[in-house]
Amino acid sequence: MTELQASLLAIGGTIVVGVFGYNKWQEHKAKKAVQRAFASEHDDVLMSPPGEPAARVEERQEPMFGQAVQQDPTSQAPEANDAAPAVVAEGVAPLQAEGGAAEPAAEAPAEVPQKPQKPLPIDELIDCPIPLDLEAPVRGDRLLSKLQGLSHVGNKPVHFVGQREDGNWDEIAHGNLYYGLYAGVQLANRSGPLNEIEYSELISRLRQLADEIDAEPAVPDMKDVMGQARALHQFVAEYDAQLSVNVQGKGAPWAIGTLLGALERQGFDLRPDGRLVMPDGEGGVLFSVSTNVTLAAETTSRLTLLLDVPRVAPSHDGFGAMTACARMLAARLDGAVVDDSNQPLTDAALADIAQQVNDFYGQMDNAQVPAGSARALRLFS
């Protein structure tokens, strides 16, 4: 073998080794990418409030309350009542109105009733009401065709109400003639306050709508609206309480398949989103339960029951129902009722927490956002 042949063989070997090493490196990168995309680490949807990313199990709140902040969200928002707050703007009739047949003109009937016929979808405590001054009455059919694409800006719902010929305000419906129109966008929810981008988008789309139906929107000042939105979200953040109790197994882990079947027989409802919840009998949820493991797991030794406090009315006694269910499950599954630190929860400790829950409900009442009310369900979503 000549010196040239030996050199060529050495160079060729170096190239082959380099190509092989590069291919293995690329394979390693692709494998890591797949592992990241399909990681088995799974956030439990039962542990997170609606509208927020799921929190990991270790971030659950201990079953105790801190000092709730005494803040009325109406401090920077118009005064309102639970049934249907009045919405009054210069040159526009309030949302609560009644009277005889109105003249076919843009100005709505002037008489104002003491009470509305039914709650309206625009709540001045949690929504920003925006009047649209109509040049002439507009048919509900025409309005509905224009409003179909304006139900949300970002994740904030948008509602509309119109004033009928009899002077009453109601949701827009086919077959009615409307003499006044209001839009309302929710100022805050669990995901955050209404922001400048969302508000600007809403105003832009409302102006387009107004041009199409011969109306003029009376747009509130953005700075004032943003201030109200931030104040309301601060209230939501301070009253966003969730309580959990756990059932810890004393012996062998429980088989997931058998456990889920037993929970459903005990009254839990498996929702399409994978949550196991205890219904309140009126279409709502009392509390939920988590197995604390991923969907692929075959066993678990711990169950966590979670109460979304502001979303459950005091009359349902969600905390009492949850703790009673935990005791029953512990008895049947040979487990113990414990807190997140695995310390036993005594009857005295649970009674003390129940009293704190009642105090918390009283504070929500004082803030004009009763737990479990339509207003609370909208805010804590």
Rounded distance between C-alpha atoms, residue 50 and residue 282, angstroms: 19
CATH number at residue 368: 3.30.1400.10
User: Is the model's pLDDT at 177 over the cut of 50?
Assistant: yes
119 or 50, greater pLDDT: 119
Rounded distance between C-alpha atoms, residue 122 and residue 369, angstroms: 15
Q: Provide the pLDDT confidence category of residue 287 given band limits of 50, 70 and 90.
A: very high
Let me know whether 329 and 363 are in one domain: yes
| Overall average pLDDT of the 189-198 stretch | 98
User: Where is the domain boundary, 236, 262, 294?
Assistant: 236
Q: 135 with 106: CB under 8 angstroms?
A: yes
Let me know if residue 371 belongs to a domain: yes
Let me know if residue 22 belongs to a domain: no
Q: What b/e string do you get for 5-32 counting C-beta neighbours within 10 Å, with b at 16 or more?
A: eeeeeeeeeeeeeeeeeeeeeeeeeeee
Torsion of CA 150, 155, 156, 159, to 10 degrees: 30
Let me know if residue 287 belongs to a domain: yes
- List all residues 6 or more positions away from 191 whose beta carbon is below 8 Å from its beta carbon: 51, 52, 155
Let me know if residue 15 belongs to a domain: no
Q: Is the sign of the CA dihedral 25, 26, 30, 33 positive or negative?
A: positive
Let me know if residue 17 belongs to a domain: no
Angle at CA of residue 117, ends 115 and 119, nearest 5°:
90
Let me know whether 289 and 274 are in one domain: yes
Torsion of CA 121, 372, 127, 84, to 10 degrees: 50
User: What share of the chain has pLDDT > 70, as a percent?
Assistant: 69
Nearest C-alpha neighbor of 370 from the set 380, 120, 115, 233: 380
| Overall average pLDDT of the 314-339 stretch | 96
Q: Provide the pLDDT confidence category of residue 360 given band limits of 50, 70 and 90.
A: very high
Please give the residue range of the domain that contains residue 104. Answer: 76-236
Let me know whether 147 and 222 are in one domain: yes
User: Is the model's pLDDT at 59 over the cut of 60?
Assistant: no
CATH number at residue 135: 3.30.1400
Number of domains within the chain: 2
User: Where is the domain boundary, 182, 207, 236?
Assistant: 236
User: Is the model's pLDDT at 228 over the cut of 80?
Assistant: yes
Q: Is 63 exposed, middle or buried (0-12, 13-18, 19+ CB in 10 A)?
A: buried
| Overall average pLDDT of the 150-179 stretch | 95
Nearest C-alpha neighbor of 167 from the set 227, 233, 101, 238: 101
User: Over the chain, what is the mean pLDDT?
Assistant: 80
Let me know whether 195 and 98 are in one domain: yes
User: Is the model's pLDDT at 282 over the cut of 80?
Assistant: yes
Let me know whether 356 and 338 are in one domain: yes
Rounded distance between C-alpha atoms, residue 47 and residue 305, angstroms: 9
| Overall average pLDDT of the 150-175 stretch | 95
Q: What is the model's pTM?
A: 0.69
Rounded distance between C-alpha atoms, residue 239 and residue 76, angstroms: 17
3-class DSSP state for residue 335?
strand
Let me know whether 229 and 250 are in one domain: no
Q: Provide the pLDDT confidence category of residue 20 given band limits of 50, 70 and 90.
A: low
Confidence (pLDDT) at 3: 66
Let me know whether 57 and 136 are in one domain: no
Let me know if residue 16 belongs to a domain: no
Let me know if residue 40 belongs to a domain: no
What is the helix (H) or strand (E) element at residue 377, kind and residue range?
helix 374-379
Angle at CA of residue 194, ends 190 and 127, nearest 5°:
90
User: Is the model's pLDDT at 260 over the cut of 70?
Assistant: yes
Let me know whether 191 and 105 are in one domain: yes
Which of 66-70, 95-99, 299-303, 351-355 shows the lowest per-residue confidence on average (mean pLDDT)?
A: 66-70
DSSP H helical ranges for 48-180 = 140-147
Rg (CA), the chain: 29
User: Is the model's pLDDT at 331 over the cut of 80?
Assistant: yes
| Overall average pLDDT of the 323-335 stretch | 95
User: What share of the chain has pLDDT > 90, as a percent?
Assistant: 64
Q: How many CB atoms lie within 10 A of CB 366?
A: 12
Let me know whether 232 and 312 are in one domain: no
Cα distances (angstroms) measured from residue 279 to each of 140, 184, 312: 37, 31, 11
Let me know if residue 270 belongs to a domain: yes
- Give pLDDT tens digits for 34-47: 233 233 333 333 33
Phi then psi for residue 226, to 5 deg, are -65, -35
User: Is the model's pLDDT at 16 over the cut of 80?
Assistant: no
Which of 28-42, 141-155, 220-234 shows the lowest per-residue confidence on average (mean pLDDT)?
A: 28-42
Let me know whether 145 and 222 are in one domain: yes
28 or 268, greater pLDDT: 268
Let me know whether 204 and 100 are in one domain: yes
User: Where is the domain boundary, 174, 201, 236?
Assistant: 236
Let me know whether 135 and 171 are in one domain: yes
